[in-house]
Chains A and B, each alone.
Chain A
Amino acid sequence: TQLLEQSPQFLSIQEGENLTVYCNSSSVFSSLQWYRQEPGEGPVLLVTVVTGGEVKKLKRLTFQFGDARKDSSLHITAAQPGDTGLYLCAGGDNAGNNRKLIWGLGTSLAVNP
């Protein structure tokens, strides 16, 4: 059974601080995605990484896919209150036509003004 473990589970920081959240597995994924979910809304896709070692940047957010495609990290520079939310990672398994995602439980981030 493929599992994705996210850490930390909860994070509360002050505006302006940097942070990193992690998504780890013992399984290899064909792709890995990060989503952000705000209270009362559905998850929204932030990024997809598909190549081992790939780094993508989205403004103050930097995403990295591990060389072996088993893990990923999300680094936020100078966090802002608008970054508050639940960050979910999801691994893609392209076996067959199912195309289901394996989901982590998420990191709940609170950025205090």
Chain B
Amino acid sequence: NAGVTQTPKFQVLKTGQSMTLQCAQDMNHNSMYWYRQDPGMGLRLIYYSASEGTTDKGEVPNGYNVSRLNKREFSLRLESAAPSQTSVYFCASRTSGRNEQFFGPGTRLTVL
């Protein structure tokens, strides 16, 4: 089992460019999450998907969109990147019942 995988691992964008961060899990989890992690701010929830076909906003959704493509895949899109979106992005999936989350290795994004 690969667990949660994310691509790319690193990315540099110019202001205004767009990109999609990919996430996939092979644990048959229903719920998936996108977080960003910034120094001094901790992990902040961007969007989550409680089940295939549903998505909901988290704490900091502005500037982002998501797609739950199927049960395995949950992508995060930046339509017009801004320097404030420079961060480390983590995808996670959750076991049912115990609310335990499993994280991918992260994508380190720099927006110039």
Interface of A toward B, CB cutoff 8 Å: 30-31, 33, 40-45, 48, 50, 88, 90, 92, 94, 97-101, 103-106
Provided the pairs A42-B90, A98-B56 are in contact, do residues A103 and B43 lie with their beta carbons within 8 angstroms? yes
Contact between B43 and A88 (Cβ–Cβ < 8 Å)?
Answer: yes
Segment of B13-21, B63-71, B73-81, B94-102 engaged in the interface with chain A: B94-102
Encode B24-58 as 1/0 by CB contact (under 8 A) with A. Answer: 00000001000000001111010010100000101
Provided the pairs A42-B90, A42-B105 are in contact, do residues A97 and B43 lie with their beta carbons within 8 angstroms? no
CB distance from B10 to the nearest CB of A (A): 11
Report the interface size class on chain B.
20 to 34
Provided the pairs A98-B50, A100-B58 are in contact, do residues A45 and B42 lie with their beta carbons within 8 angstroms? no
Q: A-B contact count, CB below 8 Å?
A: 54
Contact between B100 and A100 (Cβ–Cβ < 8 Å)?
Answer: no
Contact between B42 and A31 (Cβ–Cβ < 8 Å)?
Answer: no
Taking a contact as CB atoms closer than 8 A, the residue among A41, A44, A97 that contacts B50 in the complex is: A97
Q: How far is the CA of A88 from the CA of B4 in the complex (A)?
A: 19
CB distance from B61 to the nearest CB of A (A): 13
Provided the pairs A99-B31, A100-B58 are in contact, do residues A105 and B103 lie with their beta carbons within 8 angstroms? no
Tell me the dominant secondary structure on chain B's binding face: strand
B48 to A, closest residue via Cβ: A100
- The 6 A-B pairs of least Cβ separation, nearest first, read A42-B103, A92-B99, A105-B42, A103-B43, A43-B103, A99-B99
Contact between A41 and B105 (Cβ–Cβ < 8 Å)?
Answer: yes
CB distance from B3 to the nearest CB of A (A): 9
Chain B residues closer than 8 Å to A92, beta-carbon distance: 99
Chain B residues closer than 8 Å to A106, beta-carbon distance: 42
B90 to A, closest residue via Cβ: A42
Provided the pairs A98-B56, A103-B43 are in contact, do residues A45 and B48 lie with their beta carbons within 8 angstroms? no
